Structures are given as structure tokens and as C-alpha cells.
A = this chain, B = another copy of it.
């Protein structure tokens, strides 16, 4: 008595998300208009707001889904043994996050949780990314004097930094990979005391 109704709900929700993804594929994230989504999906505007916390709420879901796709793929890789490898494995994720300014803004905006209990799907991908990298580093020849988790968080710091700089013309002479290589080499490789 309860299930069939939930099915309908899920169907509507799925239809809305698929429609949105179709529009995004065609025009990009920044060009998505709520109006177009509901019209294309053949659904009332009120329904849209009953399912998502506005446009931003939908975006959070859609972008998080995409990010998780990349993380799924990353998880399938064996632990990289060189920094070049590590960068190569993480680049698809980074590239997605930097293809559109709007996407990066949404990600930044949702990189935190509103309430302690409910961590949004995008914020979760940040945690997950650290986990993936930490697992890689456990089986790698890199620095072992600090915990793999801490090491992975450091990697994330340089990734975020690299992405932020991507939107700046100042350092566009260097590619993102080059910049990452320099930093991650200094961060990940074991060193002798000077």
C-alpha cells in the first residue's frame, strides 16, 4: 500500500534528474534552467520544488553523481607507484571540476555540510576522495613518516589549490599537471634532513 506510491515518486524524481542531465549534456551546467527542466520533463514546477531544494539542490545531486562516477573509476585503479601515475588517475576528476566555473562554484558552495548530521552529497565526495587517495598511498613507495590519511589530505590541499589557480590567468603558463607534479613531489617523496 505504500510501495506503489513511492515508485511513482521515484519515477518522477528520476525523470527530472535524467532530463536535467540531458540538458546539461547538451548545453552545460551553467545553462540549465529550471523552467526548461520541468517543461521538458513534462512536470509541474511545484513538483520540482517538492523534490529538490531548488535549482541548487538539483545541481548538488547531479554534480555529486558525476563526481562519484569519477571516484568509482579511480577506485578501480591499482595504487599508483609514481606521482605522474597518481596525477593521471586523479586528473579526470580535477578536469571535470574545472571545466566550468559554475560547476566549481557549486562544488565549493556545497563542499561543507549545512548541519552536522546531514553531510551533502558533494561534501561526501570530498571525504571519499581522501579515502581513495589514502588507500592508494598505503600501497605506494611514498613517504611513510605521516599517516596515509594525512598524506591524502595534503594531496587534496594541493589539488584544491591547483584548481583555484586554474581560474587565474597569472599562472596559466604552467599546466595544471606540471604544477601538481612539483607540489606533490615535494609533499609525497621521502626526504633526507638537510
Contacts and interface: CB of A to CB of B under 8 A. Distances in A.
A53 interface: no
Contacts of A183: 150, 153-154, 157
Given A160-B161, A161-B156, A191-B191, A168 B115 contact: no
Contacts of A154: 158, 183, 186-187
Interface string A80-122: 0000000000000000000000000100110111111001000
A182 interface: yes
Interface in A137-194: 143-146, 150-151, 153-154, 156-158, 160-161, 164-165, 167-172, 182-183, 186-187, 190-194
A170 B123 contact: yes
A126 interface: yes
B108 A169 contact: no
Given A123-B168, A157-B158, A157-B183, 16 more contacts: A112-B168, A113-B169, A115-B169, A116-B169, A126-B170, A143-B194, A145-B186, A145-B191, A145-B194, A154-B183, A156-B161, A157-B157, A161-B161, A187-B187, A190-B193, A191-B191
